[in-house]
């Protein structure tokens, strides 16, 4: 054994577990006999070498048996199951404290800080006053008898990470209509707009152009210091003008450059990138400022309204993106365009390569492309894919794939695939023999992601319970072996007290070792019980989703022969006969068969 018998000198570290392990190895000491205290703790900082946020600590290492007051808190820190940005402190109420400690509250705060430091929880830790409030609750529990404490554990949010903030690429935004088909090419090859009602007419003081610089963004940080890299904005679009005349004003702000008109007139840009305002305008070459439609932002809600009814050009051009809160578009959506908002409403055709996304609801007349939303309403939908919780389609579905929990469709469907996970689906007339319907939660991406999350959680809990079981068996075996040593140590203590002699440290160490093992065993039992409850809850949630799909009812208004129906867990694929009346399809209870019945 080594010569260490008391308290170490100050040790500097940014990895406390490794430091204590190395100290135990160098001094030939059992790791479980050592404890530590924090003398200094730095603010968190990003370490390029470690690739994460960390802290520097100055600690002292000591023997547990030589501590002045014997506190035995059982605490652990884990990420919140639903939000990994939140770190929680779990305190087991079977923990023991030395109530003779005159500074018990400060001692409990110190124990909490030690648990955080040992587990490298370095970012977003709650303030010291909040730590004291948690410590006070723990002290109050410690002063109560264990029989009067009903809860096996207390859980406290102890740290919160930071969400990743992606950067943004640079872009140029023009605050006026940017195309006009009325211009004529003159004999010199110029386009003369001087006598036309050119839409680039600007007023004095009008904001004409905003150039947004690329934003770097900031990485996400978990409480344990792990970084989630952000997207770093790129300079993909440079400032559009080579020069501007005195008739324009340029305002340089931290994140953008704004260009204002200083007089009324016609704003124009020549082929060399020189911007100016003129009374009578002749512009060299064609003009295409690549913005698609008038955009109005309501100051209270930042809504976007684009009205291109009766205009031959698309309301949202090829490759363009329109984003806002409530987006209303009357006009067509071109190829590879993207429209996103909280609610999106489009009256017009949509190219099959376009993307429409909404946090809440999408309403379309002639739907197409890729559509993602909580609720989707369409007059009809063709040549595209829908991902939603609820889908409502009034008329036809053609060459489309739909993933949802529930669907309500009236009209015809041809060459369509529907995947649903809810307890019911209503479909119209299946035309042709190339339609298929699947009542299967594992084939609906959003629902399957939830199922996979439940499975991962259950597997993690199962592995942890297996590990705890092994630890419990090991500790029980050690306690069995320690029985004779404990009896001898207790007898020695009794004799020494009777004779007024000093109790040997070895006897104290044996007794303390047995107490620590019993405390550890109690903590394992409590954690195992908590994990069993959590496992059962997660399993119930998983089974509920599966059961819903197995017991689903599919209503079809009419169908032609050959269309296919499948249910989760049923090996049989049902090929429909011709039906001209409404039918209901489900899995026959207690059988591995799909049942079709008239309505």
Same domain as 398, residue 362? yes
C-alpha angle 218-48-56 in degrees, rounded to nearest 5:
105
pLDDT at position 303 is: 56
Q: Are residues 480 and 588 in the same domain?
A: yes
pLDDT of residue 284: 31
Q: Is the pLDDT of residue 179 over 50?
A: no
Does 339 map to a domain? yes
Place of tokens 């932002």: 297
Tell me which of 284-293, 343-352, 386-395 is least confident: 284-293
561/503 same-domain check: yes
Contact between 183 and 102 (Cβ < 8 Å): no
Q: Within this chain, do residues 383 and 346 fall inside the same structural domain, yes or no?
A: yes
Report whether pLDDT(395) > 60: yes
pLDDT band at 48 (very low <50, low <70, confident <90, very high): confident
Looking at residue 382, its pLDDT comes to: 94
Nearest to 172 by CA among 214, 123, 203, 128: 214
CB 257 within 8 A of CB 239: yes
Q: Assess whether pLDDT exceeds 70 at residue 163.
A: yes
Lowest mean pLDDT, pick from 101-105, 133-137, 288-292: 288-292
At residue 328, the pLDDT reads 85
User: What's the rounded Cα separation, in Å, for the pair 43 and 21?
Assistant: 24
In a domain, 42, yes or no: no
- Let me know whether 181 and 252 are in one domain: yes
Q: Within 10 Å of residue 85's Cβ, how many Cβ atoms?
A: 18
Q: Which of 222, 252, 277 is the last residue of a domain?
A: 277
Please tell me the distance from the alpha carbon of residue 20 to that of residue 503, in angstroms, as a whole number.
Answer: 29
- Are both 402 and 423 inside the same structural domain? no
User: Predicted confidence band at 14 (pLDDT cuts at 50, 70, 90)?
Assistant: very high
- What is the arithmetic mean of pLDDT over 364-369? 93
The answer to whether residue 47 sits within a structural domain is no
Containing 248, the helix (H) or strand (E) segment is strand 248-252
Mean pLDDT along residues 79-86: 91
Q: With respect to residue 30, please indicate whether it lies within any of the assigned structural domains.
A: no
Between these two residues, 487 and 298, which has the higher pLDDT value?
Answer: 487
Range of the domain at 129: 67-160
Has residue 50 been placed in a domain? no
Residue 178 and residue 188 in contact, taking contact as beta carbons nearer than 8 Å: no
Question: Which is more confidently placed, 176 or 468?
Answer: 468
Reported as a pLDDT band with limits 50, 70 and 90, residue 143 is: confident
Q: CB under 8 Å to 404, separation ≥6 — which residues?
A: 376, 386, 387, 388, 389, 390, 391, 418, 419, 420, 421, 422, 444
Tokens 């207790």: give the residue.
Answer: 490
pLDDT-based confidence at residue 294 (cuts at 50, 70, 90): very low
CA 65-66-67 angle, 5° bins: 95
Q: Lowest-confidence range among 114-118, 336-340, 525-529, 543-547? A: 336-340
Q: Which of 138, 108, 112 is nearest to 125 (CA)?
A: 112
Q: Are residues 250 and 296 in the same domain?
A: no
Domain assignment present for residue 57? The answer is no
* Residue matched to tokens 């790791």: 31
Class of residue 513 by CB neighbours under 10 A (exposed 0-12, middle 13-18, buried 19+): buried
* Confidence tier at 3 by pLDDT (50, 70, 90): low
Does residue 166 sit within a domain? no
Radius of gyration of the chain, Cα coordinates, nearest whole angstrom:
35
Q: Of the candidates 277, 307, 333, which is a domain's last residue? A: 277
Residue 574 CA to residue 564 CA, distance in Å, equals 6
Q: Strand ranges (DSSP E) for 373-444?
A: 375-387, 390-393, 397-404, 406-409, 412-414, 417-420, 424-431, 436-439
Looking at the predicted structure, is the pLDDT value of residue 185 above 50? no
Per the structure, the count of domains in the chain is 4
C-alpha distance from residue 534 to each of 150, 537, 574 (Å): 18, 5, 38
Q: How far is 288 from 177, CA to CA, in rounded Å? A: 11
In this structure, are 451 and 584 located in the same domain? yes
Report the distance separating Cα 351 and Cα 339, nearest Å: 12
Cα(147)–Cα(150) distance, integer angstroms: 7
Cβ–Cβ under 8 Å, residues 20 and 61: yes
Angle at 82 between CA 79 and CA 87, to 5 degrees: 25
Q: Among the three residues 160, 195, 212, which one is the final residue of a domain in this structure? A: 160
The more confident residue out of 414 and 272 is 414
Is pLDDT above 90 for 326? Answer: no
CB atoms within 10 A of CB 379: 16
Outline where 332-411 has alpha helix (H): none
Give the pLDDT of residue 281: 40
Pairing of strands 248-252, 256-261: antiparallel
- What are 145's two structure tokens? 């008898």
Which pLDDT belongs to residue 183? 40
Token pair 């309500």 in the structure block, residue: 408
Average confidence score pLDDT of the chain? 85
- Looking at the structure, do residues 251 and 290 belong to the same domain, yes or no? no
Task: Please tell me whether residues 548 and 564 are part of one structural domain.
Answer: yes
Is residue 289 situated within a structural domain?
A: yes
- Separation in Å, CA 189 to CA 195, 270, 587: 17, 13, 73
pLDDT band at 542 (very low <50, low <70, confident <90, very high): very high
User: Beta strand pairing status for 375-387 and 397-404?
Assistant: parallel
Residues 510 and 581 in one domain: yes
Across 47-61, 122-136, 583-597, least confident range? 583-597
Let me know: does 507 contact 522? Beta carbons within 8 Å.
Answer: no
Q: Is 441 within 8 Å of 419 (Cβ atoms)?
A: no
The pLDDT-based confidence of 464 (bands split at 50, 70, 90) is: very high
Q: Are residues 571 and 433 in the same domain?
A: yes
Q: Comparing C-alpha atoms, which of 141, 134, 118 is closest to residue 55?
A: 118
């Amino acid at each position: 054994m080594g010569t260490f018998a008391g308290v170490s000198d100050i040790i500097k570290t940014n990895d406390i577990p490794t430091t204590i392990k190395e100290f135990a190895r160098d001094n030939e000491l059992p790791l479980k006999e050592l404890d530590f205290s924090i003398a200094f703790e730095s603010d968190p900082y990003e370490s390029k070498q470690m690739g994460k946020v960390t802290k520097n600590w100055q600690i002292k290492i000591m023997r547990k048996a030589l501590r002045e007051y014997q506190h035995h808190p059982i605490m652990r820190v884990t990420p919140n199951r639903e939000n990994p940005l939140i770190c929680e402190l779990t305190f087991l109420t079977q923990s023991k404290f030395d109530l003779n400690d005159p500074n018990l509250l400060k001692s409990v705060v110190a124990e909490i800080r030690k648990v955080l430091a040992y587990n490298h929880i370095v970012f977003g830790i709650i303030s010291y006053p909040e730590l004291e409030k948690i410590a006070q609750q723990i002290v109050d529990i410690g002063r109560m008898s264990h029989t009067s404490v009903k809860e096996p554990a207390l859980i406290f949010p102890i740290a919160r990470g930071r969400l990743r903030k992606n950067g943004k690429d640079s872009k140029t935004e023009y605050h006026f209509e940017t195309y006009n088909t009325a211009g004529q090419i003159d004999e010199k090859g110029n386009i003369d707009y001087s006598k036309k009602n050119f839409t680039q007419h600007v007023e004095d003081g009008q904001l004409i152009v905003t150039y947004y610089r690329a934003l770097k963004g900031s990485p996400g940080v978990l409480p344990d210091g792990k970084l989630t890299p952000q997207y770093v904005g790129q300079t993909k679009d440079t400032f559009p003008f080579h020069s501007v005349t005195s008739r324009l004003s340029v305002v340089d702000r931290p994140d953008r450059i704004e260009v204002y008109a200083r007089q009324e007139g016609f704003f124009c840009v020549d082929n060399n990138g020189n911007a100016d305002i003129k009374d009578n305008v002749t512009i060299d070459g064609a003009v295409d400022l690549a913005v698609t439609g008038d955009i109005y932002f309501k100051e209270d809600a930042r809504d976007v309204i684009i009205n291109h009814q009766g205009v031959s050009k698309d309301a949202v051009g090829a490759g363009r993106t329109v984003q806002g809160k409530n987006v209303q578009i009357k006009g067509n959506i071109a190829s590879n365009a993207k429209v996103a908002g909280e609610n999106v409403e489009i009256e017009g055709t949509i190219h099959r390569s376009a993307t429409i996304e909404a946090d809440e609801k999408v309403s379309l007349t002639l739907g197409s492309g890729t559509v993602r939303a909580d609720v989707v309403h369409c007059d009809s939908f063709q040549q595209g894919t829908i991902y939603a919780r609820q889908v409502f389609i009034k008329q036809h579905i053609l060459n489309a794939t739909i993933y949802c929990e529930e669907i309500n469709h009236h009209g015809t469907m041809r060459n369509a695939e529907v995947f649903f996970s809810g307890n019911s689906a209503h479909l119209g007339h299946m035309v042709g023999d190339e339609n298929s319907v699947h009542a299967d939660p594992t084939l609906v991406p959003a629902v399957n992601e939830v199922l996979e999350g439940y499975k991962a959680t259950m597997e993690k809990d199962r592995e942890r319970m297996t590990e705890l079981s092994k630890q419990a068996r090991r500790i029980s075996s050690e306690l069995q072996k320690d029985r004779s040593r404990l009896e001898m140590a207790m007898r020695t203590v009794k004799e020494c007290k009777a004779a007024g002699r000093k109790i040997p440290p070895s006897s104290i160490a044996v007794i303390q070792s047995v107490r620590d093992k019993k405390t550890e065993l109690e903590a394992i039992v409590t954690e195992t019980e908590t994990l069993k409850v959590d496992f059962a809850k997660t399993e119930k949630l998983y089974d509920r989703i599966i059961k819903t799909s197995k017991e689903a009812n599919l209503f079809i208004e009419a169908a032609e022969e050959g269309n296919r129906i499948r249910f989760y867990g049923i090996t049989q694929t049902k090929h429909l006969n011709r039906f001209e009346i409404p039918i209901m399809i489900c899995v026959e209870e207690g059988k591995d068969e799909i049942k079709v019945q008239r309505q």
